[in-house]
Structure 1
């Protein structure tokens, strides 16, 4: 027999309902404050530029020192370093958007773009440390994912399973680390300790909101591709135009729903800490608790 509260405030059905309403609230907030998307855009641009710059620098130096072999070694070193640099950049901008979204959700005010940056700057040491830790985990996951290219079928399956388990466990245990760091200004290890405790209070909502955002993003992208299919049949001009629209649409959709995901995380952090709805939910008629 399964025991538990499936009808009350923490019942499974209510968790699903709250998770879906959190998703809708996130969409409303990003639509009202589209500048939140700029945080995500800056994160993507800086990550790409940093990755390219590091690879160019290390690869070029390697070639000067040791020709082709040095170039390959430099690229390998650059890839290794890029994991950490990009991870730190992503953590910084995630912290900025969470801080900005939390301010909007809890006060109703529309914070300036610089507000999130200032809040993230206040905890740079923690962001740097967390970026290094996240980058290390990313390298470990990449190692196991690389086993999928092995000729050994057992290694392929084993690598994929281990990588998936690590990613899922890491997602669950560190879900609230960035909100705790940027909103409470706590240290990294203290945040890592508190995050699983908060996740236990909102596990159902976290899963539903994350899946909800991903599913909506998928259907938006699918819709963009479908409406552009006729253009792809109109010769070279139509093909080029359709391709541009599809790429632009996928990019904008991904940026939008990535911002929504950060807003959702800020909402769930507030709930996990207070057990109450975010004040802004009432404005949109989305009392999620």
Structure 2
């Protein structure tokens, strides 16, 4: 990255990151099929979760009822181990699914951003499929870390736990560090075909060069999503004064709009990774940005 870019002040960096978010939103408006990747990822993840749930219910049905205390205890222990194993495998599967479709979004968005072309829907899937071994490994790694962070989060939310505050502190520090250190891992794997561990080694350097832009882009997504959600809720509030049917319709409409907003901005976040990766390597906005009226 050029030295003059590295010497930018905090506000300039954050401002550039926010412009990346605007670019990501315009890319999705121009290519809304990118959201289908996110939708498929969500559907498959829900499917895996339902399989885990049905498997757990099936295991519980297989546990015979007995009056023998020792035998009953052993069976409960075996059931607990089997259930935890099934849940762990399900969590890993969801993580791999998420990484795969996120890779597809990044590959497709990067192609549009860098070349100005309109890649087909299968383009992103093809690019992600070429990295399946790395995606599988990274899905397991990120899923394991994510599960550990979830455990810490659960402990921190337990007010009766004597280590709740400590768990909350560790969860925040580790979560932030993991986000920063692995920010560019997926783009490096899917776009430049780096291995998982090479990406893990190189990602922190790229992040340190573009930390302000990354924070600006991520914060921009969060702020705009929050404001969009508030706006949708405000628009729907009058429906609650139209009687029972108005309340029902208002609730359904709010849930639908919030779901649509979440789908949109989750996709924006992935597109931002592609934009930021291009910027991290070149120090410039992707060529598509100028065509969409976004310049530094």
TM-score by length of 1: 0.92
Structure 1 residue 273 corresponds to structure 2 residue 281: yes
Q: Deviations over 1:5-63 (max 9, x none)?
A: 99986222221221111111111101100001111111111101111112212431343
2:49 corresponds to which residue?
51
Aligned to 1:92: 100
- Aligned partner of 1:10 in structure 2 is 8
Tell whether the 8 Å contact from 1:59 to 1:75 is kept in structure 2 after alignment: no
In 2, Cα distance between equivalents of 1:198 and 1:23: 18
Which residue in the other structure is 2:219 paired with?
211
Separation of aligned partners in 1, 2:5 and 2:103: 35
The correspondence of residues 31-180 of structure 1 with structure 2, limited to 5 A, is 31-66=29-64, 69=76, 73-152=81-160, 154-180=162-188
What are structure 2's unaligned runs of at least 5 residues?
66-74
Is 1:247 matched up with 2:242?
no
- Alignment map for 1:17-32 (pairs within 5 Å): 17-32=15-30
Report the CA distance between 1:135 and its aligned residue.
Answer: 0.9
CA–CA distance in structure 2, aligned partners of residues 96 and 142 of structure 1: 26
2:244 pairs with 1:236? yes
Query: Aligned-residue CA RMSD in angstroms?
Result: 2.0
Q: Contact 1:62–1:74 at 8 Å: present in 2 too?
A: no
Task: Give the equivalent residue in structure 1 for 2:191.
Answer: 183
Q: Which stretches in structure 1 are left out of the alignment for 5+ residues?
A: none
Aligned residues: 284
Please state how far the C-alpha of 1:139 moved relative to its aligned partner. Answer: 1.5
- What is the match of residue 224 of structure 1? 232
CA contact (8 A) 2:5 2:283 kept: no
Q: Distance in 2 between matches of 1:77 and 1:235?
A: 48
Per-residue CA deviation, residues 158-217 of structure 1 (Å, 9 max, x unaligned), is 111111111110000000000000001111000100100110111000001101011100
Shift of 1:108: 0.5
Q: Structure 2 vs 1, CA of residues 81 and 59 (structure 1 numbering), >3 Å: closer, same or farther?
A: farther
In structure 1, distance between residues paired with 2:294 and 2:113: 12
If asked which structure has higher relative contact order (CA below 8 Å, sep 6+), I would say 2
